[in-house]
């Protein structure tokens, strides 16, 4: 599934904060959104102001120390209060931004514990005076209504240096991929089907026994839902009745943060909840759900703000959404990365799906193409999950790549030190790589790990549905397994896994089933002919280090110091 993320902040010569483009020009409106009219000047809007933070370099340094088992500070995670003290905007920044807002009559503002975001309510006339150049209109798509501006705006130089971006002005969420579209593609490609993946299949493949369920008192896990995606409690209960009889489990969500929508359940939401709770069985699970309380809200951003405003939150979060890197600004993504670092340094593990478009394809000028990386999958500060399929679709056997599994190299973020050896080994050892004009050999490479991603059974609206596929499926499975490992760590008095990647790359595949067969899709052109990268021994940009072998991975991650 793909969605969200796309406000940007770009500083141009004319002192522009532009949420989506790199120039002082109109914003391109996606074709599937229809403009229905200008917003009344008295209508209320809610905008989010991201204040410039302090000590971001120090935050990154601390994150790597607490995430590296070779460090004396490993596992010594910070509290939210300590994170806030580290990154809280300077008094000057807070004063300048608040004075700017108040000078325009904007006084209805809420902040969060870290004080690096302000959410302010104002009428349209005030917002358009505050950000000269914008004009708010209402847009609709598939029954969803948004208020956005299609024009760029200006911010005075004195304020510009204190802001990272303003949310709720430009960004149009891309249409979420229908999981059934993946099934249609597989049918057209002649892909084979077996009876389908269920909790029993997954627990068998990844060597989880009936005894491998949660029991620690202080453990929890979470999924996050956006874009009108909601789970239904009756679906979860029915799913566990059908598929959870062989292991101890919970049949109810422990906590819903946000407002559940009415109507039919979402297939994406049902998939996430049912499989994190059947893999991470018997572990209390939260659902973060935010469709946006107002038409100007950005649901993904609301989730990020919640993480920075809650002292007690689950240890593992899985999210099955993303967007093309090139549709976002570097400034916006850098700030979101800082939010991921703030979570990781607290001991929270954040997992993102790698996407369902293989290496992707971006059509450039003069008939040239390049691969198209996805964000947040390409963030160096999250663990990204790719997808696999069974080699024999009728047996629980070894896995090969799922051709839709997202993977590749970031065009924005440099390759982090923790993965340099693994990635360079792949680039040197694998023959027949795609032309280097298609990807950035020095960028952050992903995914980091994988799991089965095709032919899942899901219960939604009380009906069992087969053949649901995508890395939206593999991500909660890996999340549930990491929650089980956290459970055992807590029982032994060890801290949570936190940001997993430094440790994962140090393991060099230990505790994982290496996937070495198959390639994923990419550009349909003469040079690459629809083929992206291929799997290989050790790490590769299709399945990462491979898929979990739970007993071995548990031993590797619990027997460490």
Q: What is the dihedral of CA 188, 190, 194, 200, to 10 degrees?
A: -60
HSE, side-chain direction, 13 A CA sphere, residue 234 = 7
Beta-bridge mates of residue 148: 137
Could you tell me which residues come within 8 angstroms of residue 418 by beta carbon, excluding any fewer than 6 positions away? Answer: 64, 501, 502, 505, 506
Angle at 182 between CA 224 and CA 448, to 5 degrees: 55
Angstrom distance (rounded) from CA 443 to CA 450: 20
Query: Among residues 280, 278, 300, 282, which one has the least CA distance to residue 291?
Result: 300
Among 164, 268, 325, 356, the one annotated catalytic: 268
Angle at 60 between CA 451 and CA 476, to 5 degrees: 20
Residue 477: both structure tokens together: 């499975």
431-459 core/surface letters (b: 16 or more CB in 10 A; e: else): eeebeeebbbeebbbbbbbbbbbbbbbbb
Among 472, 483, 496, 522, the one annotated catalytic: 472
Angstrom distance (rounded) from CA 31 to CA 507: 46
Angstrom distance (rounded) from CA 15 to CA 107: 25
Element (H, E) at 319: strand 316-319
Query: Among residues 139, 140, 307, 291, which one has the least CA distance to residue 222?
Result: 307
> Is 295 one of the annotated active-site residues of the chain?
no
Among 116, 212, 238, 272, the one annotated catalytic: 272
CB atoms within 10 A of CB 346: 23
> Is 158 one of the annotated active-site residues of the chain?
no
Is residue 373 within 8 A of residue 409, CB to CB? The reply is yes
By CB neighbour count within 10 A (0-12 exposed, 13-18 middle, 19+ buried), where does 237 fall?
Answer: middle
Residue 206: both structure tokens together: 């990844």
> Is 272 one of the annotated active-site residues of the chain?
yes
Helix (H, G, I), strand (E, B) or coil at 332: helix
Could you tell me which residues come within 8 angstroms of residue 337 by beta carbon, excluding any fewer than 6 positions away? Answer: 379, 380, 381, 413
Q: Which residues are catalytic?
A: 268, 272, 472
């Amino acid at each position: 599934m793909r969605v969200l993320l796309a406000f940007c902040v770009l500083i141009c010569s004319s002192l522009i904060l532009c949420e989506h483009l790199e120039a002082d020009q109109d914003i391109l409106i996606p074709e599937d959104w229809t403009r229905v009219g200008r917003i009344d000047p008295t209508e209320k809007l809610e905008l989010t102001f991201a204040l410039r933070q302090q000590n971001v370099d120090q935050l990154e340094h601390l994150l790597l120390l607490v995430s590296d088992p070779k460090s004396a500070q490993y596992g010594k995670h910070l509290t939210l209060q300590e994170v806030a003290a580290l990154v809280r905007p300077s008094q000057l920044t807070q004063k300048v931004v608040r004075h700017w807002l108040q000078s325009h009559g904007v006084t209805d503002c809420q902040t969060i514990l870290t004080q690096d975001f302000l959410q302010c309510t104002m009428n349209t006339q005030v917002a358009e005076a505050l950000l000269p150049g914008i004009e708010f209109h209402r847009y609709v798509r598939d029954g969803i209504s948004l208020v956005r501006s299609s024009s760029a705006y200006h911010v005075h130089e004195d304020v510009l240096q204190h802001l990272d971006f303003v949310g709720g002005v430009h960004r149009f969420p891309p249409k979420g991929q229908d999981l059934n579209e993946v099934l249609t593609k597989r049918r057209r490609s002649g892909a084979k089907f077996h009876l389908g993946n269920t909790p029993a299949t997954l627990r068998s493949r990844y060597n989880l026994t009936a005894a491998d369920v949660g029991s620690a008192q202080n453990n929890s896990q979470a999924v996050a839902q956006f874009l009108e995606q909601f789970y239904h409690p009756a679906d979860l209960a029915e799913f566990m009745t059908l598929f959870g009889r062989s292991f101890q489990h919970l049949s109810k969500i422990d906590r819903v943060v946000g407002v559940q929508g009415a109507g039919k359940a979402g297939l994406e939401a049902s998939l996430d909840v049912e499989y994190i709770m059947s893999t991470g069985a018997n572990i209390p699970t939260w659902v973060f759900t935010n469709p946006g309380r107002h038409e100007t809200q950005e649901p993904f951003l609301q989730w990020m703000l919640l993480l920075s405003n809650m002292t007690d939150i689950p240890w593992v979060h899985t999210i099955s959404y993303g967007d093309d890197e090139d549709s976002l600004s570097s400034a916006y993504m850098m700030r979101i990365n800082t939010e991921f670092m703030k979570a990781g340094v607290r001991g929270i593990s954040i997992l993102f799906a790698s996407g369902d478009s293989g290496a992707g394809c971006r059509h450039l000028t003069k008939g040239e193409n390049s691969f198209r990386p996805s964000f947040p999958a390409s963030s160096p500060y999250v663990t990204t999950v790719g997808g696999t399929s069974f080699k024999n679709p009728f047996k629980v056997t070894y896995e090969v790549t799922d051709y839709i599994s997202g993977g590749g190299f970031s065009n924005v973020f440099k390759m982090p030190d923790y993965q340099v050896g693994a990635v360079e080994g792949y680039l040197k050892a694998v023959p027949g790589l795609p032309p280097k004009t298609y990807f950035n050999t020095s960028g952050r490479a992903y995914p980091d790990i994988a799991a089965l991603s095709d032919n899942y059974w899901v219960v939604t609206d009380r009906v069992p549905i087969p053949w649901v596929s995508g890395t939206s499926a593999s991500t909660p499975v890996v999340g549930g397994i990491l929650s089980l490992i956290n459970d055992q760590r807590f029982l032994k008095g060890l801290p949570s896994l936190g940001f997993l990647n430094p440790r994962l790359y140090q393991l060099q595949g230990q505790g994982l089933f290496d996937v070495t067969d198959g390639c994923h899709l990419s550009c349909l052109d003469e040079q690459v002919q629809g083929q992206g990268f291929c799997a290989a021994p050790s790490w590769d940009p299709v399945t990462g280090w491979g898929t979990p072998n739970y007993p071995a991975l548990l031993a590797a991650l619990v027997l460490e110091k």
